[in-house]
């Protein structure tokens, strides 16, 4: 915590001068930095104590240093030689010289978007079920109909389904449907089809 320090100088004639300052003792290390998901190309980023110096260490032993911003965010260049499964560490050192424990992140070099598909549909059902294909059994699938998102079910067998009556009643005519699949690495694939209602 803060301590008020006063220094006084008295000369041979008895004249006195003084000054006051505050000495702050801080022996508490910052929390370990939190690293955002890491891939093979984008900058390495995360959160740390605002104003702390973040030192990022790459698998080959090289380091990069940056000061965390007022909101705690920080970012350093990607070295370009990271491969899937590599571990990147980061420590934070506060202005008092206290250094945190390391935060770690694992590189996911997956930059391939999942492939998702939906065929055009002609139906007399105004709240139709929709189904299509997706090549990633764990991807999150979302169907957008007339600008509104509806979560679909990834069946894990190469198909996805939006259950019957999930959609509101659709007016007769064509409706543009966009289906989006997002994998665990954040890669996004999409497809667009037209569902035509004719009752």
Domain harbouring 185, CATH code: 2.60.40.10
Whether 24 has a pLDDT exceeding 90, the answer reads no
2 and 95: one domain? yes
Position with higher pLDDT, 183 vs 76:
76
74 and 143: one domain? no
In angstroms, the CA 195 to CA 115 distance is 20
Write out the residue range of the structural domain in which residue 94 sits.
Answer: 1-109
Domain stops at, among 74, 109, 144: 109
Quickly tell me which residue has 């491969």 as its tokens. Answer: 83
Average pLDDT, the chain: 94
Average pLDDT, stretch 151-157?
Answer: 97
How confident is residue 154, by pLDDT bands cut at 50, 70 and 90? very high
pTM equals 0.53
Q: Give pLDDT tens digits for 49-98.
A: 999 999 999 999 999 999 999 999 999 999 989 988 899 999 999 999 99
How confident is residue 15, by pLDDT bands cut at 50, 70 and 90? very high
133 and 58: one domain? no
Whether 109 has a pLDDT exceeding 90, the answer reads no
Whether 22 has a pLDDT exceeding 90, the answer reads no
pLDDT for the residue 184: 82
23 and 99: one domain? yes
Domain stops at, among 109, 144, 179: 109
Domain stops at, among 68, 87, 109: 109
CB 82 within 8 A of CB 110: no
14 and 69: one domain? yes
85 and 22: one domain? yes
Contacts of 80 (CB under 8 A, 6+ apart): 40, 41
Number of domains in the chain: 2
Whether 111 has a pLDDT exceeding 80, the answer reads no
In angstroms, the CA 90 to CA 131 distance is 44
């Amino acid at each position: 915590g803060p301590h008020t320090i006063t220094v006084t100088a008295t000369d041979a004639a008895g004249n006195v001068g003084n000054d006051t300052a505050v000495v702050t003792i801080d022996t508490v290390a910052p929390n370990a930095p939190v690293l955002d998901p890491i891939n093979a190309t984008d900058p390495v980023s995360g959160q740390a104590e605002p104003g702390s110096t973040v030192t990022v260490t790459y698998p080959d032993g090289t380091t990069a240093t940056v000061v965390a911003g007022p909101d705690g965010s920080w970012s350093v260049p990607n070295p370009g030689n990271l491969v899937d499964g590599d571990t990147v560490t980061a420590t934070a050192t506060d202005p008092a010289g206290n250094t945190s424990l390391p935060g770690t992140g694992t590189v996911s070099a997956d930059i391939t978007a999942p492939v998702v598909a939906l065929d055009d549909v002609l139906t007399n059902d105004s709240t139709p079920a929709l189904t299509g294909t997706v090549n990633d059994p764990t991807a999150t699938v979302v169907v957008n109909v007339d600008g509104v998102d509806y979560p679909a079910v990834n069946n894990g067998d190469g198909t996805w389904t939006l259950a019957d009556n999930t959609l509101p009643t659709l007016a007769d005519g064509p409706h543009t449907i966009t289906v989006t699949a997002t994998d665990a690495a954040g890669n996004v694939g999409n497809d667009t089809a037209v569902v035509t209602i004719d009752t």
